[in-house]
């Protein structure tokens, strides 16, 4: 099990862990994140499938940045999570995994989490001057009034917070 190896080689790097329905998750601190990635890469987790984030809303620190890795040799999967506050930068993994390039750009675009050292930190899905980050919990579901050139002061449906009211 890779989580035990991490404990062995990097004691104290894993802040929290859980296993749910067979998925292994470890939570690491920002300062030791690159060490952990380095280790798991050497352990065989060389396919970075996905980078995304979860907005905790009012929670502090606000975001979980989530990495999904796969070990092609042993077919083991690992989820690495890192808790970051608003505006706090996350080290970019582009130099290690090319697949991190777009995935990090998307996470930056959708959540506004900056990735330190990213070679091309542009938005990916939204256009350059789009206001806000759509997947944050406080971003209105109907997108607000970004399409209106006049400031009408409200979104077209201010109470449209949920489709299932």
Partner 1 sequence: MSKTMAPNPTAQASDGDRMIVNMGPSHPVTHGTLHIVLELEGEIIVKATPQIGYLHRGVEKLGENLTYQQFIPLTDRLNYCSSLMNNVGYTLAVEKLLGVQDPPRSRVLRVLCSELARIGDHLVCIGINAVDIGAYTAFLYMFKERETIYDLFEMMAGQRLHSSFTRIGGLFRDIPAEFEPLCGQFLESCERTIDEMEKLLTHNPIWADRTKGVGAITPENAINWGYTGPCLRAAGVAHDLRVAQPYLDYETYQFDIAVGTTGDVYDRYLVRTEEMRQSLRIVRQCLDRLKEIGPGPVIVDDYKVALPPKEKVYTRMESLIHHFKLIMHGIEMPVGEVYSATEAANGELGFYIVSDGTKSPYRIHVRPPCFPIFSSFDEQVKGRLIADAVSVLGAMNIIAGEMDR
In order, the DSSP letters of 82-126 are: EEE-TT--EE--TTT-TTHHHHHHHHHHHH---EET-S----SSS
Task: State how far the Cα of 164 lies from the Cα of 120, in Å rounded to an integer.
Answer: 39
**Given 13, 27, 34, 124, the residue binding partner 1 (CB under 8 A):** 124
Residues 27, 12 contacting (CB under 8 angstroms): no
Q: Is 145 in the site for partner 1 (CB under 8 A)?
A: no
Region near partner 1 per CB under 8 A, out of 2-10, 29-37, 123-131, 151-159: 123-131
Q: Is 27 in the site for partner 1 (CB under 8 A)?
A: no
The single residue among 6, 97, 115, 118 that binds partner 1, judged by CB under 8 A, is 97
| The pair of three-digit structure tokens given for residue 99, joined into one six-digit string | 């697949």
Using the Cα atoms of residue 40, residue 119, residue 116 and residue 64 in order, give the sign of their dihedral.
Answer: negative
Q: Which stretch binds partner 1 (CB under 8 A): 4-12, 31-39, 95-103, 147-155?
A: 95-103
User: In terms of Cα–Cα distance, which of 40, 95, 98, 96 is closest to 69?
Assistant: 40
- Contacts of partner 1 in 44-73 (CB under 8 A): 46-50, 52, 54-55, 66, 68, 72
Residue ranges that bind partner 1, judged by CB under 8 A: 20-21, 23, 25, 46-50, 52, 54-55, 66, 68, 72, 75, 77, 79, 97-99, 101-103, 110, 124-127, 134-135, 139, 141, 143, 161-164
């Amino acid at each position: 099990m890779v989580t035990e190896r991490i404990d062995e080689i990097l004691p104290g790097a894993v802040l929290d862990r859980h296993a749910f329905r067979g998925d292994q998750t470890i939570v690491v601190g920002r300062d030791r994140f690159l060490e952990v990635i380095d280790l798991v890469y050497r352990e065989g987790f060389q396919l970075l499938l996905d980078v995304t984030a979860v907005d905790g809303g009012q929670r502090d620190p606000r975001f979980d940045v989530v990495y999904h890795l796969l070990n092609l040799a042993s077919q083991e999967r690992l989820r690495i999570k890192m808790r970051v506050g608003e505006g706090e930068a996350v080290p970019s993994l582009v130099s290690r995994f090319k697949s991190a390039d777009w995935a990090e750009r998307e996470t930056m675009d959708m959540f506004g989490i900056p990735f330190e050292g990213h070679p091309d930190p542009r938005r990916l899905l939204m256009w350059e001057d789009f206001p806000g980050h759509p997947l944050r919990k406080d971003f209105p579901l109907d997108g607000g009034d970004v399409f209106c050139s006049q400031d009408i002061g409200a979104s077209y449906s201010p109470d449209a917070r949920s489709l299932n009211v």
